[in-house]
Amino acid sequence: MAACKEKDAKLEAIASSIRVVPNFPKPGIMFQDITTLLLNPKAFRNVVELFVDRYIDKGISVVAGVEARGFIFGAPIALAIGAKFIPLRKPRKLPGEVISEKYDLEYGTDCLEMHIGAVQPEDRALVVDDLIATGGTLCAAINLLERAGVEVVECACVIKLPEPKGRERLKGKLLHILVESH
């Protein structure tokens, strides 16, 4: 019971350290800004520890971080659980041979890339990003890993936007979120 209360207190501190910036990147959007969380070393450490506690015994060999904010959370998690860290990047950033996955934006499409040879079919992967909105980026990430024969164990995000309500899975993969934005 005490452990639950302690965890709730941590989650509350994490939630309150996230800043909402209205009308960014365009009018009507309430942007969930995690940079203020990163300015609070205790809250940042708690985010990483909460994820590490969940994944340390799950046999995860790969943490895939979505550029760029997924790098900030994914790399420390990978280090703590002894997994490889794989950056999933926008086009033409990764220097070696890549596979690409297109995904839809509100207007138009974008692309996510992964290095060929970064993962092996026996790898078990965690996908990390700061936030899940429509899920388009995370879906592309899952697709890249599955095309390489990897099992995606879970997707982990610090924040979830309220819509769609009650989403627990993405492409059949469990979503683990720390806080839900208002």
d(CA 156, CA 179): 11
Which of these segments, 18-26, 52-60, 135-143, 150-158, binds other proteins (CB under 8 A)? 18-26
d(CA 181, CA 30): 10
d(CA 180, CA 182): 7
Closest CA to 61 of 89, 81, 88: 81
Cβ count within 10 A of residue 42: 11
Question: Contact between 35 and other proteins (CB under 8 A)?
Answer: yes
Total of residues contacting other proteins (CB under 8 A): 39
Which of these segments, 9-17, 94-102, 149-157, 165-173, binds other proteins (CB under 8 A)? 94-102
Give the residues lining the site for other proteins (CB under 8 A): 19, 21, 24-25, 31, 33, 35, 38-41, 44-45, 48, 65, 67-69, 71-73, 75-76, 78-79, 82-87, 89, 92-96, 115, 118
- The residues annotated as belonging to the active site are 69, 106
